[in-house]
Structure 1
Amino acid sequence: MNTTDPAGPARALRASYGAASAAVADLDDEESWLPTGCTGWAVRDLVFHCLQDAQRALVALHTPVREPADRDAVTYWQDWQPGTTGAANGRRWVRVNGSMFLDFGQLRGLYLETLAATVHAAEAADPAQRVATQGHVLTAGDLLTTLAVEATVHHLDLTVRLPRAPKPAPEGLTAVRATLDGLLGRPAPPDWTDEHYARVGTGRAPLTGADRAALGTTADRFPLFG
C-alpha cells in the first residue's frame, strides 16, 4: 500500500485483479466445485462473491460524493469481523445466488470481463475523489486499496485446492500486510511470510504458540478482520 504515490492503489489493483483473473481463467466445471478457504464455499461460490465485489467497485467509482471520508484503507475493515450473523447470512446469500449459474463458463466469463472493466475504471479515477460504498465514504484511492486487499485474501482462499494456480500478486500481498499492520498498530513479526500473516490476520488459520509468544498481549486482537 503506497500512501505517497497517487497511482499506487490503481497499480496494486491491476496486479491483484490480474493475478486473480489468471487463477480463474483456465478453471473448468469440475474444479469449480472444489472447496476453498472460505467456510461453506466452493470455488464457484467464491468467484461469484468476487464478481459482486468488482461490480460494487464499478458502482462506487462512478458515484462521487461530497461528504467527508469517514473511513480509510485501514479503518474500512473494522466493520468486517468473522463469526457474526451478517457474515453467516452473507455466506448463504452467495451460495443461493451463485448457484443460479448452471454453466460455470458463464460465471467465469462475467467475472473476467467485470474485473477488467473495474481496472479500467480504477486507472481513470481521481484517487482523491471521495466515493461511497458499504455505507461509508472513502477516497477512491483508499477504495482501490481495499479492493486489492480483498482480491488478494480471496486469491489465497480460492487456490487452497489448486496448487498449480498462479500465486497472488506481490503488490496485493504488500497491501494486505500494510492493512493488517495498520489494524494491529505495529508491524507483524518479521519472520512471518505475507501469506501466513494474511491467513492468521483474517482468521483463516489459528495462531501458533510461537505466534502468540511473538505477539504478546496483541495476540488477543486476532483475527484483525475477516
Structure 2
Amino acid sequence: MDLFSRSWTALRTAVAELQDEDFSRPSGCAGWLVRDLVCHLVIDAQDVLITLATPAATEPTRDAVTYWEVTGVPPGGDDPLDALTVRLAAAYEEPWLLKFHLDDVGSAAGRAAGLAAPGLRVGTRDEVMTVEDYLTTYVMEWTLHHLDLVAYLPDAREVPEEGLARSRQLLEEIAGTAFPASLSDKDALLVGTGRRLPTDEETAGLGRLAARLPFVLG
C-alpha cells in the first residue's frame, strides 16, 4: 500500500514539474505524445476510484500476477481506445488543464487507496481482487508509465528505485523466470516489456528467455 502511494506520488510530481513544451514531445508509448500519456493517467486514476468503490462478495479470481493479460505484440498506437485517448488529450488544449485534472483526480485516488482495507475484495474488469493485489498491479502500471513519461525527457524526475525493484519482481513472476542479474531493474523492465530492444550483449545474457520477449502487459 505504501509503495503504491510512493510510486503514484512520484509520477504525479514528475508530471507537475513538466514544462509546457514537454507535453508535445514523444513518450515511451508508441503513437502517444506526453500529453496523451498524461491523459491516460487521468483515466487510470478514475479506474482506481471506481474499483475501490466497487466491493465484491465473492472470492478473488485474480492476484497481482494473474491480473495481467500478456501478449507478445507491442501496441502500435492504433487501437480504438488509444486513439480515443489522443482525442481526449487534444481537447484539453492547455497543458495546465491536464496537470490540474491529474492532480485533482489523482490526489483523490491516492486518498481512497490509503483509506481502503488491504483485504477488502473489489471488482474490476469482471474479476475480483483484494485491494492489496489490485494496488500492487498499479505499482507496475505507475512504474512502467513513469518510464514512458521520462523516455525522451532526460531532466524529468526519475522513477523510484523501490518501484522498479518491485515491478521487476512482478514481471519475473509473470514470466516464470528471473532476468539476468547483469540487467538493472530499469533495463529488465524496458527490455522485458518491449519498450526497447536488447543489445547483442543483453540478448546473449538472456539466453532462452530472449526468444520469449517481449511480455506486453494489458
Common topology (TM > 0.5): yes
Match of 2:69 among 78, 81, 89: 78
Q: How many residues align?
A: 217
In the alignment, the residues of structure 2 paired with residue 131 and residue 80 of structure 1 have an alpha-carbon distance, to the nearest angstrom, of 25
In the alignment, the residues of structure 2 paired with residue 112 and residue 198 of structure 1 have an alpha-carbon distance, to the nearest angstrom, of 26
Partner of 1:113: 104
In the alignment, the residues of structure 2 paired with residue 28 and residue 58 of structure 1 have an alpha-carbon distance, to the nearest angstrom, of 28
Q: How far did residue 225 of structure 1 move?
A: 2.4
Partner of 1:202: 193
Partner of 2:169: 178
Using the TM superposition, name which of 86-95 and 191-200 deviates more.
Answer: 86-95
User: For structure 1, which runs of at least 5 residues remain unmatched after alignment?
Assistant: 1-9
Q: Aligned ranges for residues 116-131 of structure 1 at < 5 Å? A: 116-131=107-122
Partner of 1:40: 31
Using the TM superposition, name which of 12-21 and 132-141 deviates more.
Answer: 132-141
Match of 2:202 among 182, 188, 211: 211
Contact 1:28 1:105 in 2 (8 A): no
In the alignment, the residues of structure 2 paired with residue 117 and residue 14 of structure 1 have an alpha-carbon distance, to the nearest angstrom, of 12
- Give every structure 1 segment of 4 or more consecutive aligned residues whose post-TM-superposition deviation is greater than 3 Å: 79-87
Instruction: Please report the TM-score for the alignment, with normalisation by the length of structure 2.
Output: 0.92
Partner of 1:68: 59
Output the amino acid matched with 1:43.
V
- Partner SS for 2:91: coil
What whole-Å deviation, never above 9, does each CA across 1:24-76 have from its counterpart, x for those lacking one?
Answer: 11223322101111111111100000110111011101111012222111111
User: For structure 2, which runs of at least 5 residues remain unmatched after alignment?
Assistant: none
RMSD of equivalent CA atoms: 1.9
Contact 1:68 1:137 in 2 (8 A): yes
- Partner SS for 2:143: helix
Instruction: Please report the TM-score for the alignment, with normalisation by the length of structure 1.
Output: 0.89
Partner of 1:20: 11
Using the TM superposition, name which of 216-225 and 60-69 deviates more.
Answer: 216-225
Using the TM superposition, name which of 86-95 and 54-63 deviates more.
Answer: 86-95
Q: How far did residue 168 of structure 1 move?
A: 0.9
Percent identical: 36
